[in-house]
Structure 1
């Protein structure tokens, strides 16, 4: 896998052939007018910056005006319409794009299972295509070619919507039962990218410490908890090299791995939930508060139903137990949220660049409170409304009581 973190990025003030391509892609999406002269077509000017930010906002990306690897990849995905190309499953190098989103939505409306509508032509989407092909009497090769496209255009669904994936997800949660014992949760202490090495080190220490506190509490409730990586780099994942059996699936990665690699780690553990922990930073020292993110592509009306509920629970628990400002929950298409097969959330627990938030985060008692809030949210995902507790009051010692009440009903 190419290291996308070292790929070039383009921003306000840059110029060249790459900027010409970026402008053309934004123009095709009706986000940018054509320049008046040749030199203008090569400049990353204020108009391009605004168009990039608008695109990033629409597509659930980090809104920074920078066309880095993630933004460029999604720009490329946005140009494809269903029928523009043949779609097929290629393990390890999945085709992705707006055409895949349209295909997944259309099959889902026709009653075929495709997994999450994420714009990636994975195994479940291939199986959905095969099932559709069998039903209409064409060779079930799992490839969306001319014959499949013709049949899809002819068979408009009688009823659209209804959220079949949300219903299936809710049923899986119900069948899993309220007990946390035996469930698997992956905790991802995410890297903090700030220019100041001292701030980056402090933020990393906070996320790793918080991850360990959450891990300890989850293990105490019977959860099998995995960290994506540890601060001491002591263990490297054998599975990262494509090796190994079950004993290596939970070995943490070294620091510095991409979101896609950490998502794949979570998938290898066959986890039930994934929690990514992050400390934010801003050039504005007044920026402060907690926010939680889940997978959703609002431009296509797509979101993870369980991910949204989990994010809401985490956000509400932290806000109820601390004095962090409530920055609410939001949809994003970051790789860790998009590529994980289980419901995943990312929690931005304050700003290391804000004096008040930084003081809170440096306090072990405060981190204990946040850890307790996250664990309570994990439990509440699996509790029925009848046995659920009021936000902000469920304590670790009360989890077993809530479970006993649930079993007695």
Structure 2
């Protein structure tokens, strides 16, 4: 099925309800292919982004762990592009410079996880780890181990059935790494990724200033107990998501924490929320990321009194593309005068940073070693000496 999805992904402008655009028919076809829109007769105006299309986009976004705002931006466009592929539609192989992505890659990875052959995340990206797992699968099936998933491999996979199960090796490995890492934060590498939106919110507060300041405060606290900390940007800099992910990978980080703020048309919206990678397939879930997200949420709510907007699975690139546990911390709503006022206060930002330190420490403790809100700085310092 040949569709010019690259036009949609590279349009350079979002599509939303009410738009009239030559890319709307492409969007409609992609939603039908993804099962988010019934394959009914086309509307009177094929180029019009109507209410039915808006509902389909929001449903697709919600199903994929994206912000369900009905706006087709780069993340939604890429997700739609990947959703058009079914396992067997095309030959899968490692391609230099531009790795293949799509639901067919996810389906192959999931199948290998179930068979106990894939120890990486089910991220829908055909990279070196997926090729290595595929070669192992092919050897086990008695096929040439060429790392190319074509018709012979599809046929052999189909003949296997789904009765064989090996578990989620990636989840087991991630959980085991944390358990074996020891309680001390000394020697651990943490990448802090402060958001960079400079649009003023209530009272002139900006995400770029708030997120960077809290990241610096947390970096000081982590460094004081021996952790190695790297920030993804300088104060007046912005970098792409891909570069942020690449930096985390190059640093061989143990954890990645992205700090952002929220906005809403309704100024009543407020509160703190955390996000971790989670999807609908086996292997599409960061177990350690979820635990860190929950710990951050609990500590910040308990110590600051910010409204609890809970922890949520998502498929945003900052948490999906990293191979180490990663979370997104939404610090509050800059469109809410209360949240913005508190985030604009230096003492409050210091309290948030301290709360985050305790959450990171609790990740490396046994489940019941410390209740929410009970750790003190002296406790963290004591754990740091247990090397």
Counterpart of 1:303 in 2: which secondary structure?
A: coil
Greater RCO, 1 or 2 (C-alpha within 8 Å, sep 6+) = 2
* Cα pair distance change 1:92/1:307, threshold 3 Å: farther
On the 8 A contact 1:316/1:391 being kept in 2, the answer is yes
- Matching residue within 343, 353, 361 for 1:379: 361
Cα deviation for residue 28 of structure 1 reads 2.4
> Which residue does the alignment assign to 2:111?
106
Q: Which consecutive residues of structure 1, in runs of 5 or more, have no partner in the other structure?
A: 233-253
> Which residue does the alignment assign to 1:280?
262
Shifted more, 326-335 versus 38-47: the winner is 38-47
On the 8 A contact 1:60/1:297 being kept in 2, the answer is yes
Counterpart of 2:278 in 1: which secondary structure?
A: strand
- Matching residue within 395, 398, 401 for 2:376: 395
Counterpart of 1:315 in 2: which secondary structure?
A: helix
Counterpart of 2:310 in 1: which secondary structure?
A: strand
> Which residue does the alignment assign to 2:207?
203
- Matching residue within 158, 165, 179 for 1:174: 179
- Matching residue within 289, 296, 315 for 1:314: 296
- Give the distance between the partners of 1:180 and 1:90, measured in 2 at CA: 38
- Matching residue within 131, 134, 137 for 2:136: 131
- Matching residue within 302, 306, 309 for 1:324: 306
Q: Which consecutive residues of structure 2, in runs of 5 or more, have no partner in the other structure?
A: 1-6
Cα deviation for residue 274 of structure 1 reads 0.2
Shifted more, 127-136 versus 345-354: the winner is 127-136
On the 8 A contact 2:222/2:357 being kept in 1, the answer is yes
Counterpart of 2:259 in 1: which secondary structure?
A: strand
- Give the distance between the partners of 2:376 and 2:101, measured in 1 at CA: 42
Shifted more, 389-398 versus 181-190: the winner is 389-398
RMSD: 2.3
For the pair 1:292 / 2:274, whether they are aligned, the reply is yes
On the 8 A contact 1:372/1:395 being kept in 2, the answer is no
On the 8 A contact 2:115/2:166 being kept in 1, the answer is no
Counterpart of 2:134 in 1: which secondary structure?
A: helix
> Which residue does the alignment assign to 1:357?
339
> Which residue does the alignment assign to 1:15?
20
Give the TM-score, by structure 1 length: 0.87
Shifted more, 173-182 versus 266-275: the winner is 173-182
On the 8 A contact 2:114/2:166 being kept in 1, the answer is yes
For the pair 1:53 / 2:58, whether they are aligned, the reply is yes
Shifted more, 165-174 versus 119-128: the winner is 165-174
CA deviation digits over 1:172-228, x for unaligned, max 9? Answer: 11222222111111000012375x588776221111101100110110111110000
On the 8 A contact 1:217/1:396 being kept in 2, the answer is no
> Which residue does the alignment assign to 1:250?
none
